[in-house]
Amino acid sequence: MDPIRVGIIGAGNVLNQYLDKIGLHADVDVVAIGDVNLEAAQRRAEEYGIGKAVTPDELLADDEVELVLNLTPPKLHAPVTLQAIAAGKHVLSEKPFATSLEEAQEILDAAKAAGVRVGSAPATFMGSGMQTSRKLIDDGWIGRPVAAFASFACRGYEYWHPNVDPFYSEGAGPMLDIGPYLITNLINIFGPAARVSGSAMRSSELRPRPDGKGGFAGEININTPTTVTGTVEFESGAVATVMLSWDVWNHNLPHFEIYGTSGTIAAPNPDHFSGAPVLRRGEARDLSLDMTPPGEGDWRETPLTHRDDAYRGIGLAEFGHAIREGIEPRTGGGFSYHVLEILLAFEASAARGEHIDIESTCERPSPLPSIGPNEPFRYDAE
């Protein structure tokens, strides 16, 4: 089939993560890049051999563009997505889908009226590590999956990110920035969520701003919780514990572990597309009073069932493939809305001091077909 013709709005920090390996995905043809900073768009277009560097308005008016990849800052995701829908374009946005459920519903309503597809990253659950983990679970290697632990913790983005202020703004923070990676992967394992319970805290109102030379220059206003923890209960009956923090220097926590009635999978970092899961079946000494110490026993790295070089382009390619086939993308609107409702429920639960029932639902994404390291990527359901 003909590749989907993509126009990208936003020439910022995340762009290279989509384009560095986009050539692996034959279903995608990036035809234009647009940014309010036209010079930045021109630099990026030249860097990646993209034919057009234009303003966002010019990109939306371009009939050659079928699908808009929205890489603007989070607060602009919903407004830009709505503008693209109004221009008759399909839209895949960087995470989060929106910053409120009201915005997200407006997007879904507008897309339905316009007859276009919308959705949101991340697509790391389509990477080799998580697809291999999914196959191990679906094939019964750990029995029935009943629980999981998912975490991301660091000291903060200000020490490496060139534009850190938006991350600490209202409507941002670790849950809306990193949480999508954890929640999408949990839905890939367990299916849709039913209820959330959360706690949240902000460690300080100000943080020193690193000057890039080992010192500090001014301060960063902190307008969002910087540590969020809690649990997600799934319609399947499983439960997951989640921890996200920008207040931690270091830790020994696993990134992502799945616990079943017959064993455990230590999956790769859900923020990444690669890596092999490690499988641990239940052992007899696990049942004794003096049980096996954590991390001991027969843990085995498993062979990958999918290519290990997908990177962010796989989400764009799968989205375009679904448009061509006339089906809902795995990261489509209903899925993205459900993820956002879960993310927002953590802080709502913390503020109200009660469980939050999740009103939306979604389909558990179908697994990608297994392929060898040199086979073309495939997106059809097995």
- For 5-54, how does the pLDDT look when each residue is reduced to its tens digit (9 = 90+)? 999 999 988 999 999 989 899 889 999 999 999 999 999 999 999 999 99
Question: Each residue of 93-103: pLDDT tens digit?
Answer: 999 999 999 99
Whether 222 shows a pLDDT value over 70: the answer reads yes
By C-alpha distance, which of 122, 81, 102, 57 is closest to 313? 122
- pLDDT, averaged across the chain: 95
By C-alpha distance, which of 366, 360, 270, 364 is closest to 318? 366
Enumerate the CATH 3.30.360.10 domain ranges in the chain, comma separated.
125-301
Measure the CA–CA gap between 126 and 118, rounded to whole angstroms: 18
What is the crossing angle of helices 179-190 and 128-138, to 10°? 30
| Alpha helix ranges (H) inside the chain | 15-19, 38-48, 56-60, 74-86, 101-114, 128-138, 173-177, 179-190, 313-325, 333-352
In whole angstroms, how far apart are CA 94 and each of 98, 122, 206, 239? 9, 7, 27, 27
241, 201 in Cβ contact below 8 A? no
Mean pLDDT of 134-147: 97
336, 187 in Cβ contact below 8 A? no
Helix, strand, coil shares of the chain, percent, nearest 5, are 35, 25, 45
Is omega for the bond preceding 96 within 30 degrees of 0, making it cis?
Answer: yes
Question: Each residue of 249-292: pLDDT tens digit?
Answer: 999 999 999 999 999 999 999 999 999 999 999 999 999 888 89
Whether 339 shows a pLDDT value over 70: the answer reads yes
Question: Each residue of 69-119: pLDDT tens digit?
Answer: 999 989 999 999 999 999 999 999 999 999 999 999 999 999 999 999 999
**Structure tokens that stand for 290 in this block:** 């003096």
Which residues have a Cβ under 8 Å from the Cβ of 76 and sit 6 or more positions away?
A: none
In whole angstroms, how far apart are CA 185 and each of 61, 336, 367? 35, 12, 12
Band of pLDDT at residue 170, cut at 50, 70 and 90: confident
Question: Each residue of 188-198: pLDDT tens digit?
Answer: 999 999 999 99
Determine how many CB atoms are found less than 10 A away from the CB of residue 225.
24
H or E, element range at 70? strand 67-70
Phi, psi of 115 (to 5 degrees): 70, 35
CATH of domain 4-120: 3.40.50.720
344, 336 in Cβ contact below 8 A? no
Whether 382 shows a pLDDT value over 70: the answer reads no
**Structure tokens that stand for 312 in this block:** 């962010």
Whether 1 shows a pLDDT value over 80: the answer reads no
In whole angstroms, how far apart are CA 21 and each of 94, 169, 303, 382? 17, 31, 23, 25
Strands 206-210, 4-9: pairing kind: unpaired
> Given its phi and psi angles, is residue 214 left (phi above 0), alpha (psi -120 to 50 degrees) or beta?
left
For CA atoms 307, 361, 92, 170, the dihedral sign is negative
Mean pLDDT of 317-337: 97
Residue 60, SS3 per DSSP: helix
For CA atoms 319, 324, 329, 332, the dihedral sign is positive
Enumerate the CATH 3.40.50.720 domain ranges in the chain, comma separated.
4-120
Phi, psi of 235 (to 5 degrees): -60, -25
The percentage of residues in the chain with a pLDDT greater than 90, rounded to a whole number, is 87
* Type of residue at 28: V
The reply to whether CATH 3.20.20.10 applies to domain 125-301 is no
Predicted confidence at residue 212, as pLDDT, reads 85
Question: Each residue of 290-324: pLDDT tens digit?
Answer: 889 989 999 999 999 999 998 999 999 999 999 99
**Structure tokens that stand for 144 in this block:** 């029935």
Least confident of 121-130, 159-168, 309-318: 159-168
Band of pLDDT at residue 326, cut at 50, 70 and 90: very high
By C-alpha distance, which of 77, 72, 36 is closest to 336? 77
164-169 long-range Cβ contacts below 8 angstroms, 24+ apart: 164/209, 164/220, 165/220, 165/221, 166/73, 166/74, 166/75, 168/207, 168/220, 168/221, 168/222, 168/223, 168/224, 168/226, 169/75, 169/223, 169/224
